[in-house]
Structure 1
Amino acid sequence: MADPHPCILIPVYNHPATISPLCDELAVLEIPLLLVDDGSDHECASELDRLAANGHHLLRLDINQGKGAAVRAGLKQAQHLGYTHALQVDADGQHGIDDLPAFLAELDTAPDTLVVGYPCYDASVPRVRFYGRYATHIWVWINTLSLDIRDSMCGVRLYPVAALNRLLAQYSCGNRMTFDTEVLVRWHWAGGDMAHRPVRVHYPRDGVSHFAVWRDNRQISLMHTRLFFGMLLRLPRLLARRWRRQHEVSR
């Protein structure tokens, strides 16, 4: 594999107040930024134009399609620009920037590994979000027949770009909030290597959330159902993999 050439991928939808400070904070990592405008309104689009004029990459989607679509488009663009890895970071500034170098450190020893963040919350986390995540955790553990995926909803992860794009050419993994979870389950099914790193998470009091309760919960429920039947189709292979791992540990 060629020497790693990473970028930071940020899907953006109407975060005009946080995206510029976030870009300033990320400058310490000295890695190019790829901003994906997911059909933002005029205020945010203008801010993104200003950031692009300052040298950041900008990919603009004409209409809002959802986080999954924005990340998928960003990964294609990252490969087109010659980047080998994309460190996905949310645009709302809730993640601890100091925790990101640990993700990038994996490039030196495990460049084929998908590195996934797991959140370390402070007191700002809404209780409904904190406990609500466990419904998805349980379904992910069922659909992978393992506890290998510690958290499938955190917005920080380091993707090997070419391998992810090959996977996404087969399975789109959804356009909106289902993407982050489904892409990890399918990566696990495919036998991809995965590592986990902690990320501190703070929810600002005036933070912007684009989670649509009825629409997104419905799509998430349908995703878990679809993945469950996908797990059943892969059951012999998943059980064989589980047996091999247990056998190797016991040797």
Structure 2
Amino acid sequence: MSAPDRFAPCALIPIYNHGSTIARTVQGLRAHGLPVVVVDDGSDAATREVLDALDRDEPGMTLIRLPHNQGKGRALAAGMRAAHAAGYTHALQIDADGQHDTADAPRFVEEARAFPRALVCGCPVYDDSVPRGRLYGRYVTHVCVWVETLSLAIRDSMCGYRLYPLEATCAELDRAPVPARMDFDTEIAVRLFWRGVPVRNLATRVIYPENGLSHFRMLRDNLRISAMHTRLLLGMLPRAPILLWRRLRREPSCAI
């Protein structure tokens, strides 16, 4: 960020084979005036065709292509670095599958404008479409994160609708490797909290579209998440005195 008061947000969408929903998501964000960076994580030919058409016809969209599928975490890291290099100060991450309400994008942006150093985390408000197993499983991660941060600051670390301050986030990406896949969202949120990045929590409607395409693999991704929590718990231990001191001084978060 070249000046303390400079604020230049964009939206960031990782995509892998969500060709049927990406146009609606991009157009919903563009309707609010947000530049959009789409990272194609090695999608199939049908999705590539849709992305090519959007890239040609949708002003304000930038398309980045990874040579093969590398995972959500790698796609997001590539997009954040590219957005930061292009001069954006903040990136609003949103999924490509239609789960998230693009009408809430201005709320995320205004929260970040008011608190430019903060990570603005979406807190899902679900309807009846949410699979109960996935809903209950999220609470296991919530509790783990509260232990790993010694704080209730991060109300939901798994929601893929959030806004990052790019300077602090890219510094953390450069400091140590990040997970390549679904465990990225939780780990980067915890690590930014450890770095002292404030957290804001914003309620947002989340749906599970009928016949929606999910890339979550129950065994593989749960094993990754378990390994991530082990790693973060071990990382918390030497940081515990500082985290407790910060908690005694103030809680760097707010739920709204």
| TM-score calculated relative to the size of structure 1 | 0.95
For residue 75 of structure 1, what is the aligned residue in structure 2?
A: 80
- Structure 2, gaps ≥5 residues long: 252-256
State the shift of 1:205 in Å: 1.2
Q: CA RMSD in A?
A: 1.2
Give the alignment of 1:95-244 within 5 angstroms: 95-244=100-249
Is the partner of 2:250 in helix, strand or coil?
Answer: helix
2:163 alignment partner AA = L
State the shift of 1:2 in Å: 4.4
Task: State the distance in 1 between where 2:246 and 2:116 align.
Answer: 23
Task: State the distance in 2 between where 1:107 and 1:231 align.
Answer: 27
Is the partner of 1:65 in helix, strand or coil?
Answer: coil
Task: State the distance in 1 between where 2:220 and 2:198 align.
Answer: 32
Task: State the distance in 1 between where 2:168 and 2:129 align.
Answer: 36
Task: State the distance in 1 between where 2:5 and 2:83 align.
Answer: 15
- Whether 1:40 aligns to 2:48 is no
1:32 alignment partner AA = P
- Whether 1:24 aligns to 2:11 is no
1:117 alignment partner AA = G
2:81 alignment partner AA = K
For residue 14 of structure 2, what is the aligned residue in structure 1?
A: 11
The number of residue pairs the alignment matches comes to: 246
Is the partner of 2:31 in helix, strand or coil?
Answer: helix
Is the partner of 1:34 in helix, strand or coil?
Answer: strand
Is the partner of 2:216 in helix, strand or coil?
Answer: coil
Deviations 1:138-174 (A, max 9, x none): 1001111111110000011111111110011113320
State the shift of 1:3 in Å: 2.1
Percentage of pairs with the same residue: 51
Report if the CA contact (8 A) 1:99-1:198 is conserved: no
